[in-house]
Amino acid sequence: MSSDIHLENKVAIVTGASRGIGEAIAKSFARNGAKVVLAARKLEGLERVRDEIQGAGGKALAVACHAGEPDQIDALVARTIKEFGQVDVLVNNAATNPYFGPMMNLEWAAWDKTFDVNVKGYFAATRAVAKHLMERKAHGSIVNMASVVGFMGSPLQGIYAMTKAAIVSMTKTMAMELGSAGIRVNCIAPGVIDTRFASALTTNEEIMATVKARNAFSRIGSPEEVAGAALYLASDAASYTTGHTLVVDGGWTVSL
């Protein structure tokens, strides 16, 4: 297998691609040769990212898809195959965190929404792409976005953290089950990244002081720094890497 990090002749689906980490991953993949299918609930944001990728000479398709609805995920994979003939890489990045507060005060609607998008959606997309790859007898790479909060007690983010712990577990099991088909399944666990999604953390001075005090670089990360990890795991350079969770947190969890 090639040790070069590129995605030439690959087709990649990136969920949650309208902003933040998903946008950075999609643009990185396109710069490195992939045809990229951008997915998120709202088409408007995706079209902006698509236009920017195409303006830079890349190839991209925008598809509205609710990541918590398995039927829409199946339609996303089918649309990708219709437009580009195949899927080689899947990045499960779309996520939601509608509740920020003590677990004791959680309402079931927030529980259902969080698990539907963050767990069921990842599983549904992984299964749909894996079935396609097995039918093609093709190797492929699936990259799941978890979080360092899945490894630790996470007051105020308890339900979100539970879903991310579930993704780490799913990644390991799917890696074992799909390895014989040449399908790699890996995970990225970012720390605090400067995105709108993380604004409940990044706008809280007390939380940021704690994060930066424990961080080896004394700063939070950028979406582009996560995108680099996704590019490696998606590429053939990582051909002997599966079931792994790559932590991208500036050293925040080193002392755990």
Catalytic residues: 160
Helix (H) or strand (E) holding 186: strand 183-190
Q: At what angle do helices 108-115 and 158-178 cross, to 10 degrees?
A: 30
C-alpha–C-alpha distance, residues 235 and 32, integer Å: 10
Please check whether residue 50 is in contact with residue 61, taking contact to mean a CB–CB distance below 8 angstroms.
Answer: yes
Please check whether residue 13 is in contact with residue 39, taking contact to mean a CB–CB distance below 8 angstroms.
Answer: yes
Which residues does 208 contact at the CB level (< 8 Å), separation at least 6? 192, 201, 202, 220
Helix (H) or strand (E) holding 20: helix 20-31
Measuring CA to CA, which residue among 97, 93, 70 is closest to residue 18? 93
Amino acid type, 45: G
Strands (E), 46-109: 59-64, 89-92
Please check whether residue 151 is in contact with residue 253, taking contact to mean a CB–CB distance below 8 angstroms.
Answer: yes
- Phi, psi angles (nearest 5°) of residue 146: -105, -140
Largest CA distance in the chain: 51
- Phi, psi angles (nearest 5°) of residue 244: -100, 145
